[in-house]
Structure formats: structure tokens, C-alpha cells
Structure 1
């Protein structure tokens, strides 16, 4: 029941990459049947309720995530909180949604959830990231001075416009008892591109680290592969 109730926002259904859209929720899951997870989403997305939604849902597989027991993550993005709320209302009355939850619960357990809001600060050239199965590096941080951190991060990405990955900064609005306040995402076509050049080699990295050393604490870093995406044109 915890899985079902906490996933109530998920299926308007509609998660892009965590070079985030405007707002959304990430659901970490431990999938005993990954194919069953994908099949449940395919079925829901083909239903009238799924087709009525807008936005995006993306399924990721964890490559490395420390002691987090999650095997996969759903990233569910919306254009705004009104869109998120209308999704909640529509799904609450839908038999399609109820069926989806039963099928999903038989294939996976929820581990955690995170609500985010984009800061609108993004770096890199999206036209360089063309793979359907991108490699992704998500760094969760605790920031005591968000405006100062955002300014320093913006200066860093401005000095690295020609990199072969995209990046984004989002604010974490809810994450249980965690101290996480923000997430920095990096997305590339493959792991060699994503991890072949360390962040320490970026232009201005030393200045960035010095400027945020008193305000930023890294909580955790995750590496993921993008598996599937469901999107409506609404």
C-alpha cells in the first residue's frame, strides 16, 4: 500500500532527462521484474487515461548508486504544479490507473521518492546528446547558500559551453529526512563521454570549488543509463 499511495502522482504519465523540465518527481524502485515494469507502463500509456496526460516519463537503470537498494528510477516531469495536480485528480478516478498500480506493484517495490523544481540553469549543447540510451551522472548536494551556489555554478558552465554533455541544476523540494537541497545532472551519449574527462578538468573548476567550499556538501553520486521514455504531444 505504501508503494501504491506514494506513486499517486506518477501516471499522468508523462520523465524526460534530468536536465529537468520544470517540476517533477523521481521514484526509486527495486524491480524484481524489469520487463514487467516496462510492460505495465506501456499498457497504461496506451490507455485513455495515459493518453490524456502531458509531459514525460523516463525509466532509468542504476549502474552505480552506493548502498541504495534501488535498481531503477522513474523520472516523471510536468510543465508546472498545476499540470501535476490535474494528473493526480485524473488518475484518482481512473480504472486504468488502478490496474497500472496493481501490475506495477507485482513487478517492483518503491524505495524512495524525490520532488524537484528546475532552477532554469542548464549547460552544454543539447544537439550533441542524441542517444536514446544516454549515460547520466547525478550529484546530490546540500547547499547552505543557494543563490551563491547557483551563481558559481552558472559561471562554471558558461566557461564550458563546448563540452559533449549537458548539465542542469534543480532544487530538491522534498526528500524525506535527507539533507539534500539540490541535484546537478550531467547527460552524455555514453559512459566514456560522460566519465572520460573528470570534472576537475573543466575550465574554471578550481575557482568553482573554492567559491562553494563553505556552502556545498556532496551527499551522493549516482550513475544511470536511460532505458525507455513515454511522452505525449498534448
Structure 2
């Protein structure tokens, strides 16, 4: 017999929307503080803590690159989806949000580290920064969680999200200079994995109960 996911998995908005919104606002404000400091130092953070593919020294970028942006315009472009998707991803509770975000954050970063120089001219090096990998991961998590959880309400929200934001998924394809399609691709794949992990864990919790 197929066991439906528990009620909390079927939520589409956080149980505490005010607290969740405040958390995401503070999280986003932190990105602006980092960007302001980076601008003052002439982009030193970007060069030192971005992901440098296949370089051991560039591995710390897996942890720090999503906090960095190449310019204020880059950060502004990420701000609205970061706020919206992050807020909606908290529907399953803060603990689930942390697990989902960490899964996306780490796996997308490792994917970039392994493949970030694909398509680069011979001898050229790249440094990857930005929160877009996390954003793509959250979006794909939100688009697919309802199918894994068998939640009609979440699927309905996924349809709405796709109609509004689905076009950005084309960013997983290479082609636009200066854009880390690898971060988008591996963030999206990590979001899919996170959605499946969450649904399976919640069903297992129901069976144990």
C-alpha cells in the first residue's frame, strides 16, 4: 500500500510566515553586507573565496561562493527569487529547510568545482560565484516535491511557479558568456534529489509511527 506523506509535507507556506519572512530578509540582507564589503576591498572576496574548478585551493568556494556576487546588479537580479523561493522552501519547517538548502548548496558547489572549466578556452581559468545555484535548487525542489509527496496542493503551487519562473530553467544550458550554467544545472539536480529525499523521509516517519 502506498503511504501518503504526512500533513506537514503537503504545506505550501511556512507555519510561521512572519518568522520565515523575517529570516529570509535577514539572510538576504547579509548578502548585501558581504557585497558591500567586497566592493570596498575591490572584489577581493570574489577572487579568494569563489569556486576555482579542479583547484584544491578553490574548494573552500563550495562553502562561500553562494554568498558572493560579481556586482550589485548581479545581486539585485538574484534578490527576488532568493527571497521568494527561500521563503516557500521553509514550508516543511526550519529543520527541513536547512537540510534541503545544505544539500543544494554543497552538491551544486561540488558539481561546479568538478565541471566549471568545461567550455573554457585552453589555459583559461574561471571563478564561479553567486547564489543562483541555490536559487535553481530551491526552484526545482518546489516544482517537484508535490509529485514525490503526492500532494495536489503542492503540485498546484508548482504549476503556478512554473508559469511565472519556469523560463529561468533554460539557464541550465551552456551558452551565455559569464553565466555559470554548471551552478544552475547542479543546483537543479540537487533540488530534485532533495525533494525525493524529503518525501521518502516523511513517508518512513509515517510507517515508523
TM-score bracket relative to the smaller structure: under 0.3
Q: Normalised by the size of structure 1, how large is the TM-score?
A: 0.24
Higher helix proportion (structure 1 or 2) = 2
Task: Flag the structure with higher strand content.
Answer: 1
TM-score computed with the length of structure 2 as normaliser: 0.26
